[in-house]
């Protein structure tokens, strides 16, 4: 059964999306020298431009914000120029693309930090997780707590990266407030033990995220600003003792800023959807603009969620890796290709831009 709701156009702020299908951010660790997106990246994203909206892999806002080997940045002119090749290629295919902006915080390694410095965090609590560095996975390094007077600089780095994204031709940006990275570390009370204005209460722990969002909105406009949240995902060792109250508050504040979309990881990132009690429907109803649902969606779940008005757009991640023409395959009810796990992180063209479309597969078969 094909429900055309997934394939109908949608208005996102001032943009008209061709369909309700979103390419979720997928880290692939293929940036070149200077952490500039490679020529391959322009091909990769343009191959997937039939999605209503593309959201790039997480892209660091500064050298300090990096947590994984060979992830791209948006803080130098060379990086802006590299991303311009990507946005031009996507727009040439009629696509729309947002840049996801991140600071990883404590999910980093001294070998990736300027001068071999310790990663930064709300509190000096080491994350129970690994990162991809020196061509393999290693435990993250012990972080140091950010000083109060450093926080305005981080807000400004997000603001500048948003301006850089628009200079690079992006249609907007997504602030990465999810998956246990810096902004989520401030939100979640097991990672944030601060006793100043950025720790303790629900309001204080949301402060940095909201200051970043306000700065980005002031720089590029609310209709070009989205945000990604993961209320109950244990990704990278974070947890909240009262997620519903925490995220109800955050969404009320985001409503006041009038951002264009809320992109929500429902459940554990890349894992079970029922990892902890949380009312995502209530969050969706609370948010007045576009709600993008993410995590474990297949066509049936996506179709039923749209039919029940549980979401406006549906983000697909891993299915897009092996299926550059995922939209066309879903529309045709065609089988999906598997991806090669060995080529997910790092490398070149193989396992990145060489997955055939359905048409190409048929031509080869005949």
Q: State the pLDDT at residue 4.
A: 54
Q: With a cut of 70, say whether residue 2 has pLDDT above it.
A: no
Q: State the pLDDT at residue 366.
A: 56
Residues 286-304 pLDDT 10s = 999 999 999 999 999 999 9
Q: Where are the beta strands (DSSP E) in the chain?
A: 10-12, 15-17, 21-23, 53-60, 97-102, 120-121, 130-133, 136-139, 144-145, 172-177, 225-229, 261-265, 290-294, 313-316
Q: State the pLDDT at residue 1.
A: 39
Tell me how many degrees the CA angle 332-54-44 measures, rounded to the nearest 5: 80
Domains within the chain, CATH numbers bracketed: 4-365 (3.20.20.70)
Q: State the pLDDT at residue 74.
A: 98
Active-site residue flag, 181: yes
Q: State the pLDDT at residue 365.
A: 63
Exactly one of 44, 45, 181, 297 is catalytic; name it.
181
Distance CA 342, CA 350 (A): 10
Question: Around Cβ 54, how many Cβ atoms within 10 Å?
Answer: 26
Distance CA 183, CA 191 (A): 11
Q: State the pLDDT at residue 171.
A: 98
33: left (phi over 0), alpha (psi -120 to 50) or beta: beta
Distance CA 276, CA 266 (A): 10
Q: Which residue has the higher pLDDT, 357 or 4?
A: 357
| Widest pairwise Cα distance in the chain | 67
Tell me how many degrees the CA angle 258-162-259 measures, rounded to the nearest 5: 10
Q: State the pLDDT at residue 363.
A: 76
Distance CA 275, CA 84 (A): 39
Residue-averaged pLDDT of the chain = 96
Q: With a cut of 60, say whether residue 75 has pLDDT above it.
A: yes
Strands 290-294 and 15-17: unpaired
Nearest Cα residue to 236 out of 276, 197, 183: 183
Average pLDDT over residues 240-269: 97
Strands 144-145 and 15-17: unpaired
In a 3-state reduction of DSSP, which class is residue 132?
A: strand
CB neighbours of 172 closer than 8 A, spacing ≥ 6? 13, 15, 98, 99, 165, 220, 223, 224, 225, 226, 260
Q: What are phi and psi of 45, to 5 degrees?
A: -70, -35
The tokens of 90 are what?
A: 């996507």
Distance CA 47, CA 356 (A): 10
Q: What is the pTM of this model?
A: 0.97
Distance CA 127, CA 121 (A): 10
Q: State the pLDDT at residue 361.
A: 82
Distance CA 151, CA 206 (A): 13
Q: How large a percentage of the chain has pLDDT more than 70?
A: 98
Tell me how many degrees the CA angle 121-163-27 measures, rounded to the nearest 5: 55
Residues 191-211 pLDDT 10s = 999 999 999 999 999 999 999
Question: Around Cβ 179, how many Cβ atoms within 10 Å?
Answer: 23
The percent helix, strand, coil of the chain (3-state, each to 5) is: 40, 15, 45
């Amino acid at each position: 059964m094909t429900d055309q709701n997934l394939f109908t156009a949608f208005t996102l702020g001032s943009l008209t999306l061709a369909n309700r299908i979103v390419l979720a951010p997928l880290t692939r660790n293929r940036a070149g020298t200077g952490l500039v997106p490679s020529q391959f990246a322009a091909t990769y994203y343009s191959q997937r431009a039939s999605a209503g909206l593309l959201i790039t892999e997480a892209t660091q806002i500064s050298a300090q914000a990096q947590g994984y080997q060979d992830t791209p940045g948006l803080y130098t002119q060379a990086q802006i120029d590299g991303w311009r090749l990507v946005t031009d290629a996507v727009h040439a295919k009629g696509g729309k693309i947002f840049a996801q902006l991140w600071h990883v915080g404590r999910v980093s390694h001294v070998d990736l930090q300027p001068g071999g410095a310790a990663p930064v965090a709300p509190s000096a609590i080491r994350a129970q997780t690994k990162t991809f560095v020196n061509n393999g996975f290693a435990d993250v390094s012990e972080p140091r707590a950010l000083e109060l007077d450093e926080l305005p600089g981080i807000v400004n780095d997000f603001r500048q990266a948003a301006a850089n994204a628009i200079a690079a031709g992006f249609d907007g940006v997504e602030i990465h407030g999810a998956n246990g990275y810096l902004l989520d570390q401030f939100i979640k009370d097991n990672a944030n033990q601060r006793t100043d204005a950025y720790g303790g209460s629900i309001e204080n722990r949301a402060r940095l995220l909201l200051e970043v969002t306000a700065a980005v909105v002031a720089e590029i406009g609310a209709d070009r600003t989205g945000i990604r949240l993961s209320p109950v995902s244990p990704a990278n060792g974070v947890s909240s003792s009262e997620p519903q109250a925490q995220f109800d508050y955050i969404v009320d504040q985001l409503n006041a800023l009038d951002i264009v979309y809320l992109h929500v990881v429902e459940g554990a990132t890349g894992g079970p959807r029922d990892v902890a009690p949380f009312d995502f429907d209530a969050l969706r109803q609370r948010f007045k603009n576009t709600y993008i649902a993410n995590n474990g969606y297949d066509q049936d779940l996506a179709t039923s969620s749209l039919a029940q008005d549980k979401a406006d757009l549906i983000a697909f991640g891993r299915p897009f890796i092996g299926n550059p023409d995922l939209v066309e395959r879903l529309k045709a009810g065609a089988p999906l290709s598997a991806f090669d796990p060995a080529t997910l992180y790092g490398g070149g063209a193989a396992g990145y831009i060489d997955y055939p479309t359905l048409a190409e597969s048929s031509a080869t078969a005949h």
